Amino acid sequence: MQPVQLPIEDVLDLHTFHPSDIPNLLEDYFAECIKAGILAVRIIHGKGKGIQKRRVQKLLKENPLVLSFKDAPPEAGGWGATLVKLKNNAMTLI
């Protein structure tokens, strides 16, 4: 399968991705965001039963590029999205 080219923006909607692709997707996407100077990203994982949210937040805890994260406010998706702050440190990409 061919890699999917995504525009690097401050919002990433995970609805179109297979759950098994999300760990690598987040890692690669965050690295590209940092290179582009984007240090705040809203990850849309959806509400549902919260399974995808818990999985995403576990990945965020383990990702060395992530400075912090929190639930989005209601106007930005509420508990269906997570706001992520990325580290502004080019050394984390090496």
Element (H, E) at 85: strand 81-86
Q: Are 41 and 33 in contact (CB under 8 A)?
A: yes
Q: Which residues of 60-83 are buried (b: 16+ CB within 10 A; e: fewer)?
A: beebebbeebeebeeeebeebbbb
14 three-class SS? helix
- What confidence tens digit (pLDDT) does each residue in 33-57 have? 999 999 999 999 999 888 899 999 9
- In the predicted model, residues of the chain with pLDDT beneath 70 are 1-4, 90-94
pLDDT for the residue numbered 76: 92
Enumerate domains of the chain plus CATH numbers: 11-93 (3.30.1370.110)
pTM, rounded to two decimals:
0.86
d(CA 60, CA 55): 9
Cα 19 to the chain's mean position, in Å?
13
